[in-house]
Amino acid sequence: MNATPDLFTRRHSVFVFATLCTLLWGSSYPAIKSGYALLEIAQDDVATQMLFAGYRFLLAGIFLILLAQLSGKPVFRLNLRQVGQLSILGLTQTTLQYVFFYIGLAYATGVKASILNATGTFFSVVIAHFIYHNDRLTQRKVLGCITGFAGVFVVNFHKSLVDFEFTLMGEGFIVIAAFILASASIYGKRISQSMDTLIMTAHQLTLGGFALIVLGWASGGALKAFDWQSGLLLVYLALLSSAAFALWSALLKHNPVGMITIFNFLVPIFGALLSALFLHENILEWKNLLALLLVCSGIWLVTRVRG
């Protein structure tokens, strides 16, 4: 009976599963940009970008609903208040966030986006300070936020140090998406106090994904170059979202939160490395390496728990 909890508490298992989750999340950056290329989605074709995102998250939500049902959870036993809460969460954490994220990723490189999106961790720390009395900013957290945002500042410099490369539609939208995610996650945390997290995430992804599809259709979007390759990529993106969430939730359930969240520093590393590998982007510029070091150090500082 204790086999499953033991699997998620053994030190080497925690390391492997947490690293796998961050690897999956990091792989989404080159995967989405590869999807744009395979589906021939133009940089300014926002409507089709929304369709692409919508199909991904609708599928991810359906996968999680099936997983919850197989686990014997009361998936559809919701009252009107919970439906309202899930609708708000889905429309913010999935729909609104990914409108900005998918547009931003069309204009920014995968390496840059993976570093910039890490600002969500620092936004969460700052927002939590004003909402939760037991989650105040400390000197360590302030230092971590300053270090992390310094990394974001550095990555936007041109390698010549003369120009500052930052556009609203690209880098700006990635940072806005990170802020929306941080804010919506705070709301999601409140909902999760009275609702199973698997059920909550399954429904919010499904609702948010459906809204993205409607938004894409209404704006004239169409996936014209859809084939087996782009289909497999779409399924992979949906599975990485659902699988990573299921694994991460299990780790959080059976281990101290700080022990798991500290692994978040690996997401920008994997995102940058995989973007360099699959998209042939340059990660070896000094500004990218320094930015990665600063952002990852910042995440480590704000998430680590004193022993």
pLDDT in tens, 248-273: 888 877 777 667 777 888 888 899 88
Print the SS3 string covering the chain: CCHHHHHCCCHHHHHHHHHHHHHHHHHHHHHHHHHHHHCCCCCCCHHHHHHHHHHHHHHHHHHHHHHHHHCCCCCCCCCHHHHHHHHHHHHHHHHHHHHHHHHHHHHCCHHHHHHHCCHHHHHHHHHHHHHCCCCCCCHHHHHHHHHHHHHHHHHCECCCCCCECCCHHHHHHHHHHHHHHHHHHHHHHHHCCCCCHHHHHHHHHHHHHHHHHHHHHHCCCCCCCCCHHHHHHHHHHHHHHHHHHHHHHHHHHHCCHHHHHHHHHHHHHHHHHHHHHHHCCCCCCHHHHHHHHHHHHHHHHHHCCCC
Range of the domain at 125: 3-303
Total count of domains within the chain: 1
Question: Mean pLDDT, the chain, as a whole number?
Answer: 87
Please, which pLDDT band fits residue 1 given cuts at 50, 70 and 90? Answer: very low
Q: Is the pLDDT of residue 183 over 50?
A: yes
pLDDT in tens, 58-107: 999 999 999 999 989 989 889 999 999 999 999 999 999 999 999 999 99
